[in-house]
Chains A and B, each alone.
Chain A
Amino acid sequence: MQKRPRYGLYAIVSLSVLISFFPIVWLILTSFKNTAGIYAWPPQYWPDPFTLDNYISIFTNSPELLRYILNSFIVGAGCTAITLMLGGLAAYALSRLRLRFAGMLMVGILAVSMFPPVSLLPSLFQNFLNLGLLNTYTGLILAHAGLFLPFSVWMLASYFATLPVEIEEAARMDGMGFVRIFLTIVLPLSWPGFVATGLIVFIFSWNEFPLSLVLMTQNAMRTAPVGISLYPGEYAFPWETISTATVLAIIPVLIITAIFQKQIVGGLTAGAGK
């Protein structure tokens, strides 16, 4: 059968890529414009003049940006570690141990995660205040971990569901207990699932706004999205600073994604079965 080039499909894909990437491209371009260029009418697409001034000035005028990025990184890493550890154990128990209320628990977990994060704020703030967890990494890490744990349980449980259960049964016949099976069989085989889940949770945490805003009130403890959005403007919104800072804040996430994307290789269970 002859395969016709599907021009229509290509057109639709190109268009949707263009539309979805437009804001990011616009953001990057803006970071190279001067103030006049940003407010120019009709809008300026290509920066004219093309300038690096924004990048230079952000490092001289707002050095706290690096601190924001570091904060985001610490919170994201801590939250990802906790979420993967607890989420992995919970998901394994729920999907494999034939617990009596596993189905109900899974639905319950999903239901809990449907509340908007803002609804948690009043109680979280008061309790964190009493516990001295405001403006601490531990505090925000715990808050984020709680927020994203349901997602990671669901994601990992659905990954475990794709592993052939017979491998684990063979391990039981060979004489392994559940803990050993989890550590030596399930973990090595679900590595791609853990990487994917961890990456997404890290990005969620990196971008999370309301809890980060309220639980970190000191400037030095702010995360990148909060810190950047609070850049003070004298007369107008400082778009050039914000876009430049945002570009810089995206870079770490891009690097991490690039590193781990290679690890998300499918077919790790190849050879187990037919």
Chain B
Amino acid sequence: MASVTLKQIGKSYGVVTAVEQFDLDIADGEFLVLLGPSGCGKSTTLRMIAGLESITTGDLMIGGTRVNDTDPKNRGVAMVFQNYALYPHKSVFDNMAMALKLQKMPKAEIARRVNDVADMLGLTAYLERKPAALSGGQRQRVAIGRAIVRTPEVFLFDEPLSNLDAQLRVKMRMELQELHERLGVTSIYVTHDQVEAMTLADRIVILDRGRVAQIGTPREVYEQPATRFVASFIGSPAMNFMPAERAGDGWQVTGTDLVLPGFGQLATEADALTLGLRPEHIEVLPADAAVNDPWAFDATVKLAELLGADALLNLSVKGQPLLARVGGTDFPQAGETVRIRVDPARLHAFDPETELTVARAAQH
């Protein structure tokens, strides 16, 4: 097991910058997730760590040793690919044994290790089969097994679950979690699925167009997003955004009659802001509730959708559309008038120019 350190690592293809330089320290045994939309540079970053892609700038350290120019096989890393990348003409056993055979490990030892891992992953019955004769979930397990038998210092995963159906994905996610707890091997995991990221990660690196937008624990990136991009990417359904202008002490939502009272001490002199409010942080009350609360507003329900355990309400608050998420099955229907209440502590503010979060003094 080993720590992984990225010092000013960056990648460009000619004039195209795929990943802008950044620093990252991954602790021994940590589960780190690289999260971001398609094309943001997740795979490129992972492949630089794997040694499949050359590193344009910076130093990559694994276990304290600089490995920029080390062959992939000597970096002590094992990788699980999105489309499994099994050897189609070899049996499951041979797929898993390949790396050990190449290390010239004694046959008996190889067999023992492969059988142990197959046992752990429930693959014992399939060892003689070719990958074509396995289901998607089984193939993915073989791919994971192939990585485990090598007892690497670092596991690399590139969207390993994205080819599986939703149910299987949840199951495999939990298995990966258990596996990580059991083996404790440093893991770097690429995904564009925020649920996978939130559930698996010790820390998440969020990438936005080749740039690191934020590095933090799942709780930090959810509660204190560093940029508007992070705020919109984390959380489902996405955060409501409202452009607003300074109106006296408060803020008027642009193009509407909605005026919010002043909140906290914002570290900005600007006269414009983008306000952000998560759907799950809008409290929906009966029409006559919280009459004197400055943070409560009248709203009309435009559309109500039942998701199952909870429901989504499309609201109009003085001309401003807002999406709210309410629990239970007893929710207001389209056309009804309600009161909504906003917790100012849950309100986010972003600079409309830089899209960075506007800091504010603690006020709780």
> B103 contacts which chain A residues (CB < 8 A)?
175
Cβ–Cβ contact A169 & B85, under 8 A: yes
Q: For chain A residues 160-208, which have a beta carbon within 8 Å of chain B?
A: 164, 166-167, 169-176, 185, 188-189
Cβ–Cβ contact B132 & A270, under 8 A: yes
Flag whether A6 is at the interface (Cβ < 8 A): no
Chain B 35-78 near chain A by CB (<8 Å), digits 1 or 0: 00000000000000011100000000000000000001100011
Nearest CB of chain A from residue B72's CB, rounded to whole Å:
5
Cβ–Cβ contact A172 & B83, under 8 A: no
Flag whether A271 is at the interface (Cβ < 8 A): yes
Flag whether A272 is at the interface (Cβ < 8 A): yes
Tell whether A274 pairs with B136 under 8 Å between CB atoms, given A167-B87, A170-B79, A189-B88. yes
Tell whether A274 pairs with B72 under 8 Å between CB atoms, given A169-B52, A173-B79, A175-B102. no
One of A167, A188, A271 near B134 (C-beta < 8 A): A271
One of B78, B83, B132 near A164 (C-beta < 8 A): B83
Chain B 124-162 near chain A by CB (<8 Å), digits 1 or 0: 000000111110100100000010000000000000000
Nearest CB of chain B from residue A183's CB, rounded to whole Å:
13
Flag whether A273 is at the interface (Cβ < 8 A): yes
Q: What is the number of residues of chain A that contact chain B, defined by CB distance less than 8 Å?
A: 21
Nearest CB of chain A from residue B160's CB, rounded to whole Å:
12
Tell whether A176 pairs with B78 under 8 Å between CB atoms, given A189-B89, A268-B88, A270-B132. no
Per the bound structure, the CA–CA distance linking A170 and B139 in Å amounts to: 14
Flag whether A127 is at the interface (Cβ < 8 A): no
Per the bound structure, the CA–CA distance linking A274 and B165 in Å amounts to: 11
Cβ–Cβ contact B85 & A271, under 8 A: no
> A269 contacts which chain B residues (CB < 8 A)?
88
Cβ–Cβ contact A172 & B99, under 8 A: no
Cβ–Cβ contact A271 & B86, under 8 A: yes
Cβ–Cβ contact A272 & B77, under 8 A: no
Per the bound structure, the CA–CA distance linking A167 and B146 in Å amounts to: 13
Per the bound structure, the CA–CA distance linking A268 and B133 in Å amounts to: 12
Q: For chain B residues 79-100, which have a beta carbon within 8 Å of chain A?
A: 79, 81-89, 98-99
Cβ–Cβ contact B73 & A175, under 8 A: yes
Cβ–Cβ contact B89 & A188, under 8 A: yes
> A167 contacts which chain B residues (CB < 8 A)?
85-88
Chain A 253-274 near chain B by CB (<8 Å), digits 1 or 0: 0000000000000001111111
Flag whether B236 is at the interface (Cβ < 8 A): no
Tell whether A166 pairs with B132 under 8 Å between CB atoms, given A174-B102, A271-B139. no
Flag whether B163 is at the interface (Cβ < 8 A): yes
Of the listed residues B77, B78, B87, B102, the one surrounded by the most CB atoms of chain A closer than 10 A to its CB is B87
> A268 contacts which chain B residues (CB < 8 A)?
88-89
> B102 contacts which chain A residues (CB < 8 A)?
174-176
One of A189, A270, A273 near B85 (C-beta < 8 A): A273
Cβ–Cβ contact A271 & B81, under 8 A: no
Of the listed residues A166, A173, A272, the one surrounded by the most CB atoms of chain B closer than 10 A to its CB is A173
Tell whether A173 pairs with B84 under 8 Å between CB atoms, given A271-B139, A274-B163. no
Per the bound structure, the CA–CA distance linking A170 and B83 in Å amounts to: 11
Per the bound structure, the CA–CA distance linking A171 and B81 in Å amounts to: 12
> Which residue from chain A places its CB closest to the CB of B97 in the assembled complex?
A174
Tell whether A175 pairs with B99 under 8 Å between CB atoms, given A188-B89, A271-B131. yes
Nearest CB of chain B from residue A53's CB, rounded to whole Å:
53
> B51 contacts which chain A residues (CB < 8 A)?
172-173
> Which residue from chain A places its CB closest to the CB of B80 in the assembled complex?
A170
> B73 contacts which chain A residues (CB < 8 A)?
172-175
> B89 contacts which chain A residues (CB < 8 A)?
188-189, 268
Cβ–Cβ contact A274 & B83, under 8 A: yes
One of B72, B82, B136 near A173 (C-beta < 8 A): B72
> B72 contacts which chain A residues (CB < 8 A)?
172-173
> Which residue from chain A places its CB closest to the CB of B142 in the assembled complex?
A271
> A170 contacts which chain B residues (CB < 8 A)?
79, 81, 85-87, 146
Per the bound structure, the CA–CA distance linking A121 and B110 in Å amounts to: 59
Per the bound structure, the CA–CA distance linking A252 and B84 in Å amounts to: 43
Cβ–Cβ contact A166 & B133, under 8 A: no
Tell whether A272 pairs with B98 under 8 Å between CB atoms, given A170-B79, A174-B73. no
Nearest CB of chain B from residue A204's CB, rounded to whole Å:
29
Cβ–Cβ contact A271 & B136, under 8 A: no
Tell whether A173 pairs with B77 under 8 Å between CB atoms, given A271-B130, A271-B133, A271-B139. yes
A-B contact pairs, 13 of them (CB 8 A): A167-B85, A170-B87, A173-B99, A175-B99, A176-B102, A185-B87, A188-B89, A271-B86, A271-B132, A272-B85, A272-B86, A272-B88, A273-B83
Given A170-B81, A188-B89, 17 extra CB contacts under 8 A: A166-B82, A166-B85, A167-B86, A169-B85, A170-B146, A171-B87, A172-B72, A173-B78, A174-B99, A174-B146, A175-B73, A272-B85, A272-B86, A272-B131, A274-B83, A274-B84, A274-B163
